[in-house]
């Protein structure tokens, strides 16, 4: 926890990201400058879905590559957001109402959290 405080990061401002999850995010990400876009970061942390479409049905499946520990930290933040009254929960419920399965909605929320983490880490790097 002292290391997270010493890093002076704003990533803990994201709902569901406490000091332990922040330590995983900061530690496993390393230098955020090595990721030119949020898509590259999502690919690294395995929140970028892989295309699994067949015929007219567009589908995506879980990306089993990438840094699994980083993906797990993002998963913890996503589950926490779903369990509380947050914009993440509203997003998840909206995806469910659109006909997405539980896993598809969770996968979409994890990608959204990944983008928020990327934005925070980039902002921290430029401070």
The pLDDT tens digits of the residues spanning 76-95 come to 999 999 999 999 999 999 99
Q: What stretches in the chain show pLDDT beneath 50?
A: none
pLDDT score for 50: 80
pLDDT score for 62: 73
Per-residue tokens: 115 = 């983008």
pLDDT score for 105: 94
Alpha-carbon distance of 67 to 47, in angstroms, equals 10
In terms of DSSP bridges, do strands 50-51 and 60-61 run parallel, antiparallel, or are they unpaired? antiparallel
Whole-prediction pTM: 0.90
């Amino acid at each position: 926890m002292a290391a997270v405080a010493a890093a002076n990061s704003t990533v803990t401002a994201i709902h569901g990201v406490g000091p332990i999850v922040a330590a995983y995010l900061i530690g496993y990400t390393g230098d955020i400058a090595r990721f030119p876009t949020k898509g590259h970061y999502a690919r690294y942390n395995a929140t970028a879905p892989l295309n699994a479409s067949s015929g007219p049905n567009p589908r995506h499946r879980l990306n089993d590559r990438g840094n699994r520990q980083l993906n797990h930290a993002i998963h913890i933040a996503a589950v926490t957001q779903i369990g509380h009254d947050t914009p993440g929960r509203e997003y998840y419920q909206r995806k469910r109402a659109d006909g997405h399965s539980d896993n598809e909605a969770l996968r979409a929320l994890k990608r959204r959290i990944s983008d928020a983490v990327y934005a925070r880490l980039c902002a921290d790097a430029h401070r």
